[in-house]
């Protein structure tokens, strides 16, 4: 009986031990799996965090506005690329104060204002330096759940270009008003004198009426040129680009201006070679040549000569020229003549019915053909206007 009892007990103990071993192994496996899962989720969390950080950084750096984030002690936590560009800095701004880095007194003052006001909108700031950038700052204090200040965010908008455009527009409106007022006041003056009795003398009346007619023409040219400029700038004029043979176009311009040239004893020559082809809008091109030849007649010598030429350059461009033998343009005005309303000799331009817009129209049209225009002149020997156009193959 005893031996059976002992061997039965031993078997039970062995079985119990085996069961315990299996449970222990299972428990170990479960713990290892849990640890691995935790490692995985930790890794995933880290990946997601770094992805979110990279997205945030990409977002900040792709912003046009400069962004500056300060901590509660006024030290820079983050500055995006636009901000570094605005302030022309290449050093790492993080951890430093505004006065250590950007050195603009208004900024620490602004941060102090934020402590009291919470937000500051539309503060304008002029950066010192050669290009005098004008910035607008919007700033806000960052508060925690208890209303304690944790830092501040400053957003900078660059207003320089906007301001320049506004100045140009204001200047243009002022110039246009002035240009319109001059002939109008002259017309009014002559009409009043006629009404006051000058009409009694037929010779005086005719002279006054001719002057009125001339100034009315000036007004018409001015309005036509203003409309052309406005249409060109607003993109209303769409270029009708085709292969265009240049010699016949130069011929047409010469025909149109022949009478005007004869009045001033100017001879016009068409030296544009046959077969020279440009990829251009024929009507606009004719307008460019018309303005240049018209100027060459108006401001050239009398008697004088005006020559139209053209060559094919090595880089597949056509270079057209209009050359006169007049008094020329002073060196300092050679680039400025393409500005609106710029005239070398104001009285001469007005007397010739000039609007001051002819060459800016020329420049606009040439540039919209992806060409360039420039003037060369030797005082006393004449002026040559050059412009380029893309070449076209003969069809
Ligand atoms: P405008 O209507 O006064 O002729 P433009 O824009 O056509 O206006 O020309 C601007 C100025 O450039 C003219 O007023 C004139 O002083 C100068 N200019 C243009 N072409 C010539 C030229 N061929 N010779 C000398 N001066 C010129």
pLDDT at 311: 97
Q: Contacts from 223-230 at CB under 8 Å and sequence distance 24+? A: 225/355, 225/357, 225/358, 225/361, 226/176, 226/357, 228/287, 228/357, 228/361, 229/340, 229/357, 229/360, 229/361, 229/364
Closest atom, ligand 1, to C-alpha of 355: 2
CA distance 290 to 249: 10
pLDDT at 237: 85
356 lines ligand 1 (CB under 6 A): yes
Tell me which residue has its CA closest to atom 14 in ligand 1. Answer: 343
Closest atom, ligand 1, to C-alpha of 350: 3
Instruction: Please provide residue 196's backbone torsions phi and psi, each rounded to the nearest 5 degrees.
Output: -75, 0
Distance 2 CA to ligand 1 centre (A): 134
290 lines ligand 1 (CB under 6 A): no
Per residue of the chain (395 residues), give pLDDT as tens.
667 778 888 888 888 899 999 999 999 999 999 999 999 999 999 999 999 888 888 888 889 999 999 998 889 999 999 999 988 888 888 999 988 888 888 888 998 898 888 999 999 988 887 778 899 999 999 988 888 888 999 999 999 999 999 999 999 999 999 999 999 999 999 999 999 998 899 999 999 999 999 999 999 999 999 999 999 988 888 899 999 999 999 999 999 999 999 999 999 999 999 999 999 999 999 999 999 999 999 999 999 999 999 999 999 999 999 999 999 999 999 999 999 999 998 888 888 888 999 999 999 999 999 999 999 999 899 999 999 999 997 55
pLDDT at 394: 54
CA distance 367 to 373: 8
pLDDT at 12: 86
358 lines ligand 1 (CB under 6 A): yes
228 lines ligand 1 (CB under 6 A): no
CA distance 140 to 154: 7
pLDDT at 1: 65
Residue whose CB lies within 8 A of the most ligand 1 atoms, among 346, 359, 387, for a mutation test? 359
345 lines ligand 1 (CB under 6 A): yes
Closest atom, ligand 1, to C-alpha of 291: 7
* pTM across the whole model: 0.73
């Amino acid at each position: 009986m005893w031996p059976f009892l002992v061997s039965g007990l031993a078997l039970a103990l062995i079985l119990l031990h085996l069961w315990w071993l299996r449970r222990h192994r299972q428990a170990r496996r479960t713990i290892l799996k849990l640890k691995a899962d935790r490692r995985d989720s930790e890794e995933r969390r880290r990946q997601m965090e770094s992805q979110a950080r990279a997205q945030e950084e990409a977002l900040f750096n792709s912003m046009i506005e400069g962004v500056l984030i300060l901590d509660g002690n006024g030290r820079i936590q983050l500055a995006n690329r636009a901000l570094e560009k605005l302030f022309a800095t290449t050093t790492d701004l993080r951890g430093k104060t505004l006065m250590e880095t950007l050195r603009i007194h208004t900024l620490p003052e602004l941060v102090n204002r934020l402590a009291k006001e919470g937000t500051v909108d539309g503060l304008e700031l002029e950066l010192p330096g050669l290009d005098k950038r004008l910035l607008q700052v919007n700033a806000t204090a960052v508060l925690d759940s208890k209303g304690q200040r944790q830092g501040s965010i400053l957003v900078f908008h660059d207003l320089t270009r906007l301001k320049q455009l506004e100045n140009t527009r204001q200047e243009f409106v002022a110039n246009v008003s002035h240009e319109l007022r001059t002939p109008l006041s002259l017309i009014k003056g002559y009409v009043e004198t006629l009404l006051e009795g000058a009409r009694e003398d037929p010779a005086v009346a005719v002279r006054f009426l001719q002057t009125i007619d001339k100034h009315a023409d000036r007004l018409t040219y001015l309005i036509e040129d203003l409309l052309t400029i406005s249409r060109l700038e607003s993109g209303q004029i769409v270029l009708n680009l085709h292969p265009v043979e240049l010699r016949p176009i130069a011929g047409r311009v010469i025909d149109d201006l022949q009478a005007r040239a004869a009045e001033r004893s100017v001879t016009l020559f068409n030296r544009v070679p046959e077969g020279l082809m440009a990829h251009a809008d024929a009507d606009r091109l004719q307008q460019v040549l018309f303005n240049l030849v018209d100027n060459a007649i108006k401001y050239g010598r009398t008697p004088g000569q005006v020559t139209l030429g053209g060559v094919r350059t090595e880089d597949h461009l056509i270079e057209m020229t209009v050359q006169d033998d007049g008094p020329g343009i002073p060196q300092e005005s050679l680039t400025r003549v393409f500005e609106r309303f710029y005239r070398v000799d104001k009285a001469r331009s007005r007397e010739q019915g000039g609007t001051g817009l002819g060459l800016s129209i020329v420049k606009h049209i040439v540039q919209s053909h992806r060409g360039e225009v420039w003037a060369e002149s030797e005082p006393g020997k004449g002026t040559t206007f050059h412009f380029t156009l893309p070449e076209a193959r003969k069809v």
